Structure 1
């Protein structure tokens, strides 16, 4: 697990000097799962009855870097399994401070983070996000829209910033992009 001491790392320059390397979430899950399997640490505590069926399938999917869809009837621990998978993430993850999208300081994707890094360079402030903040869930009720999940252009933001709707700075990001890493 990449759970090194992050307390003294406050800027992009500090992060680079620490030797931090960005990883995809699938790689992060895989490497942390391998670590737990090698140390024989429990993976899905409080999930009973799936030790020889569902849990080995999930382990294989993570090791293979596959996407996972949990299907089943009510009460079959789908949500509990998803919540417990958060424990396979690194404890803390660096992000560009102020970024709505939790931009990786070494591989930013938003205009905000790219512009900030271009302006401040190695002095760009970073913050650390705990793994519990990287998981989002939304109850599927009739009032939930695609905009809630994905996002939409914010007309008030566009008017205040005097920008066209096509400019990415006027997007209000939904749950999926906000928790993309």
Structure 2
């Protein structure tokens, strides 16, 4: 499991559950309907389960890094480098225009959206002696070309962001999977 995705999932789940429980409790107290009260009891229970699940995901992330012997410094470097790389490669998409409640997107917008969706698979893992970049590009040829134009710039940006590591060129690993390796100098 990728640490950046696990951290984001646990934070969003915890935030959603944390916001949902007080609102549901307020609605439970304010309502008079017995059937609605039963539904609200279930929602309150699920929100507390969500809070517990979020805490367990976060603890799983921290414990997995502690048990593997990697320091917390490399975890934070990995999270920050992944965040930076995803923000660096994000392509802006313009709002699609709507015709009577139906949104119409142009082909270039859908290509950019597909390319931006592939950023969820972009991950930078920093270790004491080396760092790895892995990325699964979309199967759409146009989106692959669009993102592959960013490879040299991403390499330079990561070399500037992590000055103690030197990244090599981003190349094909297998199929749509791309990657780069950096060594500590």
TM-score interval, normalised by the smaller of the two chains: under 0.3
Name the structure with the higher strand share: 2
Higher RCO, 1 vs 2 (CA within 8 Å, ≥6 residues apart):
1
Q: Give the structure-1-normalised TM-score.
A: 0.26
Q: Give the structure-2-normalised TM-score.
A: 0.26
The structure with more radius of gyration = 2
Name the structure with the higher helix share: 2
